[in-house]
Amino acid sequence: MNGKLSDRATPDLIVIFLAGVVGFVLVVSSAAMVFAFVFRPEVDISTVAARVGTIVSSMVTGIIGYVAGKGAANGRFNGSGK
């Protein structure tokens, strides 16, 4: 695997792009929560933390579903293909 994006299929690129965007949003949201916790401790960050957790859960579930579906489509589900 040479790692070049031009050699990847379009669905792979979409998943990589979405994972990057969601990862960026999570990093920025987490940094904002830490900033608020340190410099404005009176602010309640529990709702933001719950939403970030929901985003992480949804992203992981989506990626697992994509990988499982791609493996099943290629006949490689549970190591049954080559």
Cβ atoms of 63 and 70 closer than 8 Å: no
The pLDDT score that the predictor gives to residue 4 is 74
Show pLDDT as tens, one digit a residue, over the chain (82 residues): 566 767 777 777 887 888 888 888 888 888 888 898 899 988 888 888 888 888 888 888 887 887 777 766 666 555 555 5
pTM of the model as a whole: 0.59
**Per-residue confidence (pLDDT) for residue 65, from 0 to 100:** 82
Q: Convert 29-73 into a string of H (helix), E (strand) and C (coil).
A: HHHHHHHHHHHCCCCCCHHHHHHHHHHHHHHHHHHHHHHHHHHHH
